[in-house]
Amino acid sequence: MNKRKAFITGINGQDGSYLAEYLLEKDYEVYGIVRRNSIAEHQESRIDHLIGNGVKTSYGDLLDVSSLERMIGTIKPDEIYNIGAQSHVRISFDVPQFTVQTNALGVLNMLEAYKYHCPKARFYQASSSECFGRSVEEDGYQRETTKMEPTSPYGCAKVFGYNIVRHYRFAHKLFAVNGILFNHESPRRGSNFVTNKVVKAAVKIKLGLQDKLSLGNMDAYRDWGHSKDYVRAMHMIMNHTEPDDFVCATGVTNSVSDMCNYVFSKLGMNYTDFITQDPRFMRAEELKYLRGDCSKIKRVLGWKPEYTFETMMDEMIDHWMAIYD
């Protein structure tokens, strides 16, 4: 019996690397697209241990239609996971055109290649809680039926991606689905994202390797889960009996201040002694509050997170302590 084939954009990112590991455990053949950059030494560091052990990668780009057509047409995957994106919300204000091209037009390019080369396959789009933006239900949650009012170029582009996937599902009868994922982190998260930025800096401060940490809005509330839990959700959404869209979240929200307090306290410090606010890290329009209602994915697919906010942060602290201690 032939193995199922999965094609992952963004395979060398946090989610892509965990997803590749997860699919290998389920005996898939895994293929990925990697954007070429000039620092080859670090480009595939998250998946170095997988190359040659069931994962094959090729250079390409979401904006390079020829590479998408070539790979999808050659591989003929059973499952396509579009996780690649310009993934930093704050930076989307600095590079709005690139963000929109990659996160919106890139989705359309993928869908077109999928439609023409392997329409019997299944397609997963990494949608985002940033689609909801300033829109919050009366009970304080965001769910599948919540109005989308994004507050960043990133969020606006993700709304397009979400809607174009739904259009292709209904117009072309494709198994195309959205996972509306709330914030998810891990030791593999880039250290310019606030969670790993805080943990890495706190460890370095504890060890005398750094003096201060500059952050932006300390009162932003987020629903933070672990990437490993969320890639499980991706696979479950993709393998549901019918194409549908699901919010994936923990239902628990913490502020940046809460996170700083937890991390620094675990290391025996008071975060207020070390943190300063820097206007450079503030957004032009702040998104103050995100909390997801994951009742649908729990009810329909039986998913539930295995990590708590605290166990996730503990894992990240241990990761950086092992590196710097």
Which of helix, strand or coil describes residue 149?
Answer: strand
Q: What is the DSSP string of 166-206?
A: HHHHHHH--EEEEEEE--EE-TTS-TTSHHHHHHHHHHHHH
**Amino acid making up residue 174:** L
Q: Are β-strands 254-255 and 221-222 bridged in parallel, bridged antiparallel, or unpaired?
A: antiparallel
Beta-bridge partner residues of 317:
none
Query: For the chain, how far is it from start to end, CA to CA, in angstroms?
Result: 48
Question: Among all residues, which ones are annotated catalytic?
Answer: 128, 130, 154
Angle between helices 256-266 and 194-206 (to 10 degrees): 30
**Amino acid making up residue 299:** R
Q: Nearest 10 degrees: CA dihedral of 41, 43, 49, 50?
A: -140
